[in-house]
Amino acid sequence: MRGRNCKLGKLRSLAAGELVAHQELRQTDMAKAPENFAETVKKVRQQVGLSQEELAHELGVSFSTINRWENSKTVPFKLARRQFESFCMRMKEQGKLTHD
């Protein structure tokens, strides 16, 4: 029983360490995000005439993700920001977006 408790303790310690590392990464990522990202997402979405759900589909994220972005609850990681930037470029090329 003691050996099992020791292994469980090590697993808990590893999990706690990973959680802290993830939180630090998330804070760093948030620091890199533009301050007006929430406003930008909403303006772009409205200008191209999409609902939050439709934009989510375009970007391959959930509706709740778009909602949290627009309400400054979270900011996207680098990959999602790149997807959003690519979407904006496509919309500009199609003449649907004049500025972001």
Q: What is the mean pLDDT of each run of 10 residues along the chain (100 residues)?
A: 59 55 45 72 95 96 95 90 93 84
Residues 52 and 25 in one domain: no
Residues 75 and 28 in one domain: no
Q: What is the pLDDT at residue 59?
A: 94
Closest CA to 41 of 32, 30, 52, 57: 52
**pTM over the 0.85 mark:** no
Q: What is the pLDDT at residue 98?
A: 83
Q: What is the pLDDT at residue 100?
A: 47
Residues 44 and 25 in one domain: no
Structurally, the chain folds into a number of domains equal to 2
List the CATH number of the domain containing 46: 1.10.260.40
Q: What is the pLDDT at residue 31?
A: 38
Looking from the CA of 3 toward its CB, the CA atoms found within 13 Å total 0
Residue 27 is part of which domain span? 1-32
